[in-house]
Structure 1
Amino acid sequence: MAPTAAQHDAASAPARGAATTPVADQRARALLAWDAFRDLAAGTDPEAPSRLPGWTGRDVVAHLASWPEEPLLARLLAEARGDRSAAPRPLDQDAANAVLVAAHRDASLDDLLAALDDGRARLAAAYAAGESEGIGFAPTGSQVGPIPLLTQLGAIAYELAVHAADLGPCGAAEPDPDLVDAGLLALADITGALAARHGLTAGTALLGPAGGWAFDAHDGGWTVRRIRTATTKGPAVRAASAGLLLDASAGRRSVPPLLAKRDLKLDNVAGLLALAPLLDHVPGLPGGPALRVAAGWLGGIGRAVNRIQR
Structure 2
Amino acid sequence: MAEDHQPVLHGPRGVAEEPPESLRARVLGGWDAVLAVATEEPREGREQQGPRDLRPLAALGSWPGRPVLGAVMAAAHGLPAPERRPKPFDPSPEEVRAALAEARERVAAALEEVLAAPELGRRIVDSPLGPLPVLTQIHAMGHEAAQAVHDATGTVPPPLADAGLAAMVDVVGALAWRAEIPSSAGLWEPDGGLGWVFTADADGWRVRRHEPADDLPGVEGAARHLLVSTGSVPSMLARGEIRMRRVGGLLALAPLVDQVPNLPGGPLLRKAVGAVSLLSRLPGFR
Tell me which interval the TM-score lies in, with the shorter structure as reference length.
Answer: 0.7 to 0.9
> Residues 196 and 210 of structure 2 are in contact (CA less than 8 Å); yes or no, is this contact kept in structure 1?
yes
Deviations 1:5-37 (CA, angstroms, capped at 9, x unpaired): xxx95432x211112212333222111100101
The answer to whether the aligner puts 1:11 opposite 2:17 as a matched pair is no
> Residues 76 and 125 of structure 2 are in contact (CA less than 8 Å); yes or no, is this contact kept in structure 1?
yes
Deviations 1:226-277 (CA, angstroms, capped at 9, x unpaired): 1132x631212111x12211122xxx33322101222211111111100011
Taking the aligned partners of 2:129 and 2:153, their CA distance within structure 1 comes to 30
Match of 1:108 among 86, 89, 92: 92
> Residues 259 and 308 of structure 1 are in contact (CA less than 8 Å); yes or no, is this contact kept in structure 2?
no
> Which residue of structure 2 lines up, in the alignment, with residue 91 of structure 1?
none
> Which residue of structure 2 lines up, in the alignment, with residue 142 of structure 1?
127
The answer to whether the aligner puts 1:207 opposite 2:188 as a matched pair is yes
Identity %: 35
> Which residue of structure 1 lines up, in the alignment, with residue 209 of structure 2?
226
CA 1:86 to 1:115, structure 2 compared with 1: closer, same or farther past 3 Å?
closer
Q: Give the residue type in structure 1 aligned to 2:114.
A: G
> Residues 238 and 265 of structure 1 are in contact (CA less than 8 Å); yes or no, is this contact kept in structure 2?
yes
> Which residue of structure 2 lines up, in the alignment, with residue 266 of structure 1?
244
Give the superposed CA RMSD: 2.7
> Which residue of structure 1 lines up, in the alignment, with residue 268 of structure 2?
297
Partner-residue secondary structure (3-state), 1:214: strand
Match of 1:130 among 90, 114, 124: 114
When the two structures are superposed, what TM-score results if normalisation uses the length of structure 2?
0.83
CA 1:113 to 1:85, structure 2 compared with 1: closer, same or farther past 3 Å?
closer
Q: Give the residue type in structure 2 aligned to 1:196.
A: W
> Residues 23 and 127 of structure 1 are in contact (CA less than 8 Å); yes or no, is this contact kept in structure 2?
no
The answer to whether the aligner puts 1:75 opposite 2:59 as a matched pair is no
CA 1:86 to 1:71, structure 2 compared with 1: closer, same or farther past 3 Å?
closer
> Which residue of structure 1 lines up, in the alignment, with residue 163 of structure 2?
182
The total of aligned residue pairs comes to 265
> Which residue of structure 2 lines up, in the alignment, with residue 61 of structure 1?
57
> Which residue of structure 1 lines up, in the alignment, with residue 49 of structure 2?
none
Taking the aligned partners of 2:81 and 2:64, their CA distance within structure 1 comes to 21
Taking the aligned partners of 1:86 and 1:234, their CA distance within structure 2 comes to 42
CA 1:161 to 1:148, structure 2 compared with 1: closer, same or farther past 3 Å?
same
CA 1:139 to 1:264, structure 2 compared with 1: closer, same or farther past 3 Å?
same
Taking the aligned partners of 1:266 and 1:28, their CA distance within structure 2 comes to 30
> Residues 199 and 220 of structure 1 are in contact (CA less than 8 Å); yes or no, is this contact kept in structure 2?
no
Partner-residue secondary structure (3-state), 2:207: strand
Where do 5+ consecutive residues of structure 1 fail to align?
Answer: 1-7, 49-55, 88-95, 284-290
> Which residue of structure 2 lines up, in the alignment, with residue 257 of structure 1?
235
Where does 1:92-103 land on structure 2 (aligned, <5 Å)?
Answer: 100=87, 103=88
When the two structures are superposed, what TM-score results if normalisation uses the length of structure 1?
0.77
CA 1:226 to 1:43, structure 2 compared with 1: closer, same or farther past 3 Å?
same
CA 1:299 to 1:58, structure 2 compared with 1: closer, same or farther past 3 Å?
closer
The answer to whether the aligner puts 1:157 opposite 2:142 as a matched pair is yes
Q: Give the residue type in structure 2 aligned to 1:69.
A: G
